Amino acid sequence: MATISSAGIGSGLDVESLVAKLVAVERTPITQIAKRTDGLKTELSTYGKVQSALSSLRDAAAKLTRPDTWGGTQATSSDSSAVTATVGAGAAVGNVSVQVNQLATAQTLASTTYASSTSTLTAGTLTIQLGTHSTDVDGNPTFTAKAGSTAVNIDVADGDTLNTLRDRINAASAGVTASIVNDSTGARLVLRSTDTGESNGFVASGSGGVSNLSYDPVNGVAAMVQTLPAANARAILNGIDISSESNTLKSAIDGLNITLLKTTTFPPVISIGQDKDAIKKAIAEFTAAYNAVNALLRDQTKYDAGSKTAGALQGDSTAIGLQASLRSIAGGTTSLGGSINRLTQIGIEPGSDGNLTTSDTKLNTAMGDLDSLKKLFMGLDSGGNSSNDGFAQRIRSYVDGALSSNGRVAARQAGIQKQISSNDKRTASLEDHVAQTEARIRAQYNALDVQMSKLNGLSNYVTTQLAQLNKSG
């Protein structure tokens, strides 16, 4: 039969409590190492944030070293209600005069009035053909089918309504859009070319119950009324006549998309110049990224005497070195910007907390000399003196080095991880030692328990015998 035992029964001692206290003392080094490891993990996590912030700073600085940032253009119109424009690749700096004589329109036809949109029709077929309306030398109407297009037939069944016909036309992909206009007189079917331009005009031939939806000037049929003809936009760009099937001129001038909104009596002027707004935005993104790094390093390396708490990187030489190096670059000089050699001259100044603040007044003044401003940020010293490079170049180069595989940040992260691994190994070794110690202590107390049990049994026997002798005496 199995033996049931419990430490301390034989001796009467609280063995479990004694063992627990002795083991707790043995675990003290493990607790201390765990606390140090938690601190190291916090440091490693913080360096991950530093790495991310530095990457953003590098990207923002790199943007200010790219020619396209400084070479971008933008277009402004002297009358944006009549003409607007956007720039693309290849747009040349300068002015474009745009006289709008005619807007592109889509041919539009309206039917006679029906009682309502649910009025029923009788069977028939409506045929639609895209093409160009014109006149011959005698002034007679002509129609030339659009190249690549074919006539489209829309069948109408008895009992179909005006609504049904509208939906069938729109589903037929005939190059024509149908709608219904309702007013106090009833409902009318309106057909409109899907696209503007002369070649997107159309004729409609109706038979049977839809013969009243025909429009064919060549054959003298005008059951539907034309409310708008198909027409091209006509404009004069810098004195050159332009015709376009749409009101957007995408290829008239390289890199410039012009949108015509209304006819003009006096030509608006589109001015294409350098995109200063994009440059200011890139500079603002650079200072914001710098401030994010500075604030993170400042908060994580400081000691708060009031709360007696330290940042995760307080006293960390690598973090302090990063902060000092970046501040040194931002406060430095370069001779490449001509009369502009410091960031403070363009309104970017460090505050008491190390963050950069920007004066719009000074920056706007500096924008008047974009060539010098460009060199201040992206210039490269011809003699190879990197400490004289533009500020964006120096920041980008420094951060690239710090984040490289053997850079300061990576080296510090590797060092912290090595300490964590060493602590883990030491902890595992100590856990084994504690387990062995606990087993030894238990064995000792178990042996004591057995001996005490035997002595207690002997004591009880002697006491019993003495009691018996006293009775017999």
Confidence class of residue 233 from pLDDT cuts 50, 70 and 90? very high
Q: Which of 339, 336, 323 is nearest to 386 (CA)?
A: 336
Confidence class of residue 379 from pLDDT cuts 50, 70 and 90? very high
Confidence class of residue 23 from pLDDT cuts 50, 70 and 90? confident
The Cβ of residue 393 has, within 10 Å, a number of other Cβ atoms equal to 22
CA 350 to chain CA centroid, nearest Å: 29
pLDDT of residue 73: 87
pLDDT at residue 238 tops 80: yes
pLDDT at residue 49 tops 70: yes
Between these two residues, 8 and 304, which has the higher pLDDT value?
304
- The pair of structure tokens assigned to 265 is 């009596």
The alpha carbons of the chain give a radius of gyration, in whole angstroms, of: 45
Domain ranges of the chain: 31-69+277-410, 73-103+234-274, 108-231
Confidence class of residue 424 from pLDDT cuts 50, 70 and 90? confident
Look at residue 446 and give its three-state secondary structure: helix
Q: Which of 271, 341, 313, 231 is nearest to 92 (CA)?
A: 271
pLDDT of residue 38: 85
Least confident of 90-99, 230-239, 298-307, 454-463: 454-463
pLDDT by residue (tens digit) across 277-317? 999 999 999 999 999 999 999 999 998 888 888 888 989 99
pLDDT of residue 1: 37
Q: Which DSSP letter does residue 86 get?
A: E
pLDDT of residue 13: 63
Q: Does residue 192 contact residue 106 with C-beta atoms inside 8 Å?
A: yes
Q: Which of 277, 286, 281 is nearest to 377 (CA)?
A: 286
Least confident of 271-275, 327-331, 451-455: 451-455
pLDDT at residue 8 tops 70: no
Confidence class of residue 473 from pLDDT cuts 50, 70 and 90? low
pLDDT of residue 214: 97
pLDDT at residue 16 tops 70: yes
pLDDT at residue 4 tops 50: no
Per cent of the chain over pLDDT 70 is 95
pLDDT of residue 282: 96
pLDDT by residue (tens digit) across 121-134? 999 999 999 999 99
pLDDT at residue 340 tops 80: yes
pLDDT at residue 158 tops 50: yes
